Amino acid sequence: MSLPEPRVDEYWSWLAVALFMLVSVDLLTTLLAAADVGPAAEANPVMAWLIGQPLSVLLSVNLAVVVLAATFFYALVETIRTAPSRQARAVAMLVELWLGAVLAVGFAIFANNVAVIVYGQSLF
């Protein structure tokens, strides 16, 4: 094993936080914002379409995204575990950057949704 197991476990914890932000929190605040200003105000065309679908479709698509992200992440973690030390460090750095970017995007989307709910307009 190229990286200590606790570090890999920490990556899974960060992924859980990132997915919670991007799926649960974003979904709830997006639905609240759409209820306030209407689904046409949604900037993401896929999400705008999903808001108009039955709740089961919206939740199924979000669940599929979680499964895809976890599968992709599992492949990355296995690459880290099996790669030689030097390559494992490079892949680990990419994983950390990706997790940081996902969290930053999640917080930005959350802040934007809250602004739409509270002020009726987007931050962007």
121: closest CA among 50, 43, 58, 16?
43
34: closest CA among 44, 23, 24, 20?
44
- Say if residues 3 and 92 touch (Cβ distance below 8 Å): yes
pLDDT of amino acid 67: 93
- pLDDT in tens for each of the 124 residues of the chain? 455 666 778 888 888 888 888 888 888 998 998 888 888 778 888 988 999 999 999 999 999 999 998 998 888 888 777 878 777 778 788 888 988 998 898 889 889 889 988 988 888 8
pLDDT of amino acid 60: 95
- For 118, counting Cβ atoms within 10 Å of its Cβ (0-12 exposed, 13-18 middle, 19+ buried), the class is exposed
Residues 6+ apart with CB under 8 A from 42: 30, 33, 34, 48, 51
What is the CB neighbour count within 10 angstroms for residue 60?
13
CA distances from 22 to 85, 91, 102 (A): 32, 23, 8
CA dist 123 and 43 (Å) reads: 12
What is the CB neighbour count within 10 angstroms for residue 83?
16
- pTM of the predicted model as reported, rounded to 2 decimal places: 0.75
pLDDT of amino acid 9: 81
